[in-house]
């Protein structure tokens, strides 16, 4: 789902959409006639084992099954493998390779009278367009897929694809934050799948059916809090409980969808401030993740556990899950960075030319000149460094002095609010907005990453221009600087008053105070205080006269 503190409708809906679709694609060609050859049955069972694992299959194994299918003239096995490879290529962002598999599947299906099997191919392609933000093309491809599906002789398959269409449209609506449409299409998708009679289903159609049923029930729960206006947490909880009920009534089908359901339920209870239940369901995510590796879900669960335990003031458990969360996040970030670096190296390697003798000569001359320049720069840099260190230390001392003064003044939060503004210079309407700003500052809502001037103006029931004017007049700041100052003041006080924060990584501190980017956080901190957060933390650790205050002491002062 979303960041731990907030739901994100688009992310939630798209994640669920892609997961459901992968299930539908991977199972859609399972049906076999009683006359199927034993070899074909073995191939089909192998494909099904990929589906049951819930993880991406080994590409070489899929290609092996395609080759065996071709040797047996087993068209369904060939198509199923090509569609699986197409989907894997799309997930990895290799759209050229995906198109290659699309062309192969189209050629085989049309030549052998299996045109209706291309429904899955075109839904895959629509999925690729959606990831590329090519919405018109995605919609056109879905229409093409549905048109093809109508030639499928199996009515149940046609109904399942119809439900998938509505789910897809809900995902597109989420991209544009069209909340009414999200609710409408999600509800229609669920109603469509619920209307399918199960009596004549094959076992393999039941696998698709129950996955769809569970996910769309879960999506309705998400929609009731993130898209329905006003939010209906009571309805959401009812849908979530219904989705969870399948773990008891149909455990064989629920297990495949369980991780996403538990994660969504955990997020729901966290947002409803039922932190004990948020912990309970996040731990269920981790339990399932042991046998079905999904790094994204594990990261979300660990993040929510550290946040929930922090709110519950269980320091030991908070530290435990913080350590696990930061280790995993650093690991995933490192993998992404290595991928970028390797790609860059490959590009450089392709374009690199042999160094000529003339270049080597020029290089030598450049080196000699550069050496002299560098010596001058080093001397100047050494002097500048001394000056910079003195300047940094002065800024740090000023900041510590300010924090000492703030903590020495033992006045209540109410008294501070009363003296925050000179209300005499503001109109009655302006005074109302100022009081709303004070409430906003006290609520820590400025820590939410998605906070914006538009959103705040909407919450205050005023227009953007007027709110911006009030912030400029009362704070001498624009909105962005105002939010930055609130966030930096928040994290600075945490670092100064609570020793445990000094042990956290900069990336976590950035996330804690609402920044999606560590670099933006560092820049904002330096702009506010004149020193970097790393410098501030380092000297806090070294200064023995900095008071150590417990979290409860800090909380007591805030009351």
The two tokens of residue 259 are: 């991780």
The answer to which of 285-294, 501-510, 544-553 has the lowest mean pLDDT is 544-553
Tell me the percentage of the chain whose pLDDT exceeds 70.
74
- Structure-token match 């004149």, residue found: 530
Sequence-distant (≥ 6) Cβ neighbours of residue 438 within 8 angstroms: 417, 420
Distance of CA 43 to the CA centre of its chain: 36
- Structure-token match 């699986």, residue found: 84
pLDDT above 50 (res 138) = yes
The answer to which of 343-347, 428-432, 482-486, 545-549 has the lowest mean pLDDT is 343-347
Distances from the Cα of 425 to the Cαs of 48, 251, 324, 418, 466, in angstroms?
73, 66, 52, 14, 16
pLDDT tens column, 173-185 = 888 889 999 999 9
Asked whether 436 and 471 are in contact (CB, 8 A), the reply is no
pLDDT above 80 (res 292) = no
Closest CA to 172 of 125, 133, 145: 133
What backbone torsions phi and psi does residue 385 show, to the nearest 5 degrees? Answer: -60, -45
Asked whether 260 and 16 are in contact (CB, 8 A), the reply is yes
Tell me the percentage of the chain whose pLDDT exceeds 90.
32
pLDDT tens column, 253-270 = 898 889 999 999 999 999
Q: What is the pTM of this model?
A: 0.58
Burial of 313 (0-12, 13-18, 19+ CB in 10 A): exposed
Asked whether 194 and 213 are in contact (CB, 8 A), the reply is yes
Kindly give the interhelix angle for 233-249 and 203-226, rounded to the nearest 10 degrees. Answer: 160
């Amino acid at each position: 789902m979303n960041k731990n503190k907030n739901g994100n409708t688009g992310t939630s809906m798209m994640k669920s959409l892609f997961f459901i679709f992968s299930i539908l694609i991977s199972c859609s060609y399972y049906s076999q006639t009683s006359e199927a050859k034993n070899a074909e049955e073995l191939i089909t069972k192998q494909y099904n084992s990929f589906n049951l694992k819930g993880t991406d299959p080994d590409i070489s194994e899929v290609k092996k099954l395609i080759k065996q299918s071709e040797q047996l003239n087993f068209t369904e096995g060939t198509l199923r493998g090509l569609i699986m490879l197409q989907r894997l290529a799309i997930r990895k962002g290799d759209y050229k390779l995906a198109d290659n598999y699309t062309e192969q599947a189209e050629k085989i299906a049309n030549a052998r009278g299996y045109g209706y099997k291309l429904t899955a191919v075109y839904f895959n392609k629509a999925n690729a367009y959606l990831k590329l933000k090519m919405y018109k093309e995605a919609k056109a491809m879905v229409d093409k897929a549905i048109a093809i599906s109508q030639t499928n002789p199996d009515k149940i398959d046609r109904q399942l694809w119809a439900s998938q269409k509505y789910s897809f449209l809900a995902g597109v609506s989420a991209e544009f934050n069209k909340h009414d449409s999200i609710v409408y299409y999600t509800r229609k998708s669920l109603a469509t799948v619920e209307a399918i009679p199960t009596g004549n289903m094959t076992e393999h159609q039941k696998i698709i059916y129950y996955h769809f049923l569970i996910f769309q029930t879960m999506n309705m729960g998400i929609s009731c809090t993130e898209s329905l206006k006003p939010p209906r947490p009571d309805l959401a909880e009812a849908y979530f409980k219904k989705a969870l009920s399948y773990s008891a009534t149909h455990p064989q089908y629920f297990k495949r969808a369980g991780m996403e359901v538990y994660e969504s339920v955990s997020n729901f209870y966290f947002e409803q401030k039922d932190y004990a239940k948020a912990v309970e369901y996040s731990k269920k995510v981790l339990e399932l993740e042991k046998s079905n590796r999904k790094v994204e879900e594990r990261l979300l669960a660990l993040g929510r556990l550290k946040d929930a335990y922090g709110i519950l003031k269980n320091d030991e458990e908070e530290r435990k899950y913080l350590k696990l969360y930061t280790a995993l996040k650093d690991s995933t970030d490192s993998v992404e960075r290595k991928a970028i670096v390797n790609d860059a190296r490959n590009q450089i390697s392709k374009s690199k030319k042999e160094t000529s003798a003339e270049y080597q000569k020029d290089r030598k001359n450049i080196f000699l000149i550069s050496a002299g320049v560098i010596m001058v720069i080093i001397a100047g840099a050494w002097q500048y460094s001394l000056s910079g260190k003195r300047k940094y230390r002065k800024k740090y001392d000023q900041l510590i002095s300010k924090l000492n003064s703030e903590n020495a003044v033992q006045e209540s939060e109410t008294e501070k609010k009363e003296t925050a503004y000179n209300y005499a210079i503001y109109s009655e309407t302006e005074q109302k907005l100022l009081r709303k700003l004070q409430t906003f500052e006290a609520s820590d809502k400025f820590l939410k990453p998605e906070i914006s001037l538009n959103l705040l103006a909407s919450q205050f029931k005023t227009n953007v221009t007027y709110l911006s004017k009030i912030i400029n007049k009362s704070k001498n700041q624009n909105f962005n600087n105002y939010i930055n100052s609130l966030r930096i003041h928040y994290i600075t006080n945490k670092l100064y008053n609570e020793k445990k924060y000094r042990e956290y990584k900069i990336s976590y501190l950035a996330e804690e105070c609402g920044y999606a980017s560590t670099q933006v956080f560092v820049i904002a901190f330096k702009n506010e205080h004149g020193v970097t957060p790393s410098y501030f933390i380092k000297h806090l650790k070294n200064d023995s006269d900095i008071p150590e205050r417990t979290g409860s002491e800090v909380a007591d002062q805030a009351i």
